[in-house]
Amino acid sequence: MVSLIINLLQRLVLLHLCVVLFCGGSVWGLNYTKYRQVGDLRLARIQKHLDSLNKPPVFSVQSPDGDIIDCVHKRKQPALDHPLLKNHKIQRVPPEMPKVRPIEKQEEGEEGGKSVNTSQSHGYIRRGVWQMWHQNGQRCPKGTVPVRRSTVHDVMRANSLYDFGKKRRSIAPLARRADAPDVVSGNGHEHAIAYTGTSSEVYGAKATINVWDPKIEVLNEFSLSQIWVLSGSFDGSDLNSIEAGWQVSPELYGDSRPRLFTYWTSDAYQATGCYNLLCSGFIQTNSRIAIGAAISPLSEFQGSQFDVTIVIWKDPKLGNWWMGFGDDTLVGYWPAELFTHLADRATMVEWGGEVVNSRANGQHTSTEMGSGHFAEDGFGKASYFRNLEIVDSDNSLITARDISTLAENTNCYNIKSSGNNQWGTYFYYGGPGRNPQCQ
């Protein structure tokens, strides 16, 4: 009897190891059975990395979605482990917020489609988008910052410990005009974006984006909607990029919930930078917003629309690049020391969607971009970016005019831009991926 119990316990332990360490299973409709043996040495390396990443919390919050949010003293956060930030003092004086200019009247019009009457549809937009970990009413104490705890599960879903928290480097540049944005097709990434010209002197960007939960076909694919602030060579290895928005990435987070995210790199995604707080660099100052945490509630098809406003700008006094959420909430900043070209200014801004098309079954992915509907479906059905603005050398927000748009395969994902007095410059974008015209 005792031996039978021991045998049963051994089987349960092995089953637990299969779940925790081998990343097998089929979750959220994703089929990603991928068993990998994990040796003691590799597991020890993973745990050592997690110990350096997960700082001792003052307090922890158990989120309804399964996340653990650690409230870490702001002077103990991961950012300050960066070698370039050893002597960095956290900026205590609030940055000078970009000045808002009077609304400029715009003519109705749209590239490649009919103008949408946003004045009527605007009434269906609700504010107050927040994060799932707030639902139990708990908050991080003053003087701490919320950090989503990383787990062995998270690392095991990545290709390697080195790849954990990083974007895969581009393989081959897409043939494009000299002033077109930095997008690639060789690594299976597809976009529907709007962008400014490379001759611009830009000190930040802003937009309001509605949030959806696009379906993801394969574990290592993602769907995101974000702002890119860029400088450097698009064809070399010195591209600097600061990015923020929302994304669905089962590989990174272990679920299919849309989450607030950030990213940075100073060498074209080679060795520097990462998502969120998964490496040192981004310094968080806000105790209420957890980067990498799930956003709730979401937009509904032909129903209420939920959107978030994100602004990234360079503090004209100290030179750090700040991120704001909503109209006046400071999240944190990327210190100027992290960058080369962006230490001065940006030369291009991009807004829009990106997906990974891995062609896992020899055909185009069915991973959705945005709401999963094409741009021409309009308000309540398609995703949008509205009130596109850039920050000029006077630290003023101005409407982004004369933007260009790009989508590599409009049968899969597309974009249509327009402008009016209420939404300023805006666009609808997205698509379902694989369909009879997209194979």
| DSSP, residue by residue, 343-398 | GT-BSEEEEEEEEE---TTSS-----BTTSS-GGG-TTTSEEEEEEEEE-TTSEEE
Query: Distance (Å, rounded) from C-alpha 291 to C-alpha 74?
Result: 14
The answer to whether the bond into 146 is cis (omega within 30° of 0) is: no
Q: Which residues in 124-143 are b (16+ Cβ under 10 Å) and which e?
A: ebeeebbbbbbeeeebbeee
pLDDT in tens, 386-416: 999 999 999 999 999 999 999 999 999 999 9
β-strand partners of 9? none
Query: Distance (Å, rounded) from C-alpha 252 to C-alpha 164?
Result: 8
Query: Distance (Å, rounded) from C-alpha 20 to C-alpha 202?
Result: 46
Q: ∠406-118-190 over CA atoms, to 5°?
A: 20
% of the chain beyond a pLDDT of 90: 73
Which of 110, 221, 354, 389 is an active site residue? 354
Which of 110, 190, 217, 243 is an active site residue? 243
pLDDT of residue 57: 98
% of the chain beyond a pLDDT of 70: 81
pLDDT band at residue 83 under the 50/70/90 scheme: very high
What is this structure's pTM? 0.87
pLDDT of residue 128: 53
pLDDT in tens, 217-256: 999 999 999 999 999 988 888 999 999 999 999 999 999 9
Query: Distance (Å, rounded) from C-alpha 439 to C-alpha 437?
Result: 6
Is 354 among the residues known to form the active site? yes
Query: Distance (Å, rounded) from C-alpha 215 to C-alpha 136?
Result: 27
Residue 439 has pLDDT above 70, yes or no: yes
Amino acid letter, 425: T
Q: Which residues in 365-397 are b (16+ Cβ under 10 Å) and which e?
A: bbbbbbbbbbbebbbbbbbbbbbbbbbbeebeb
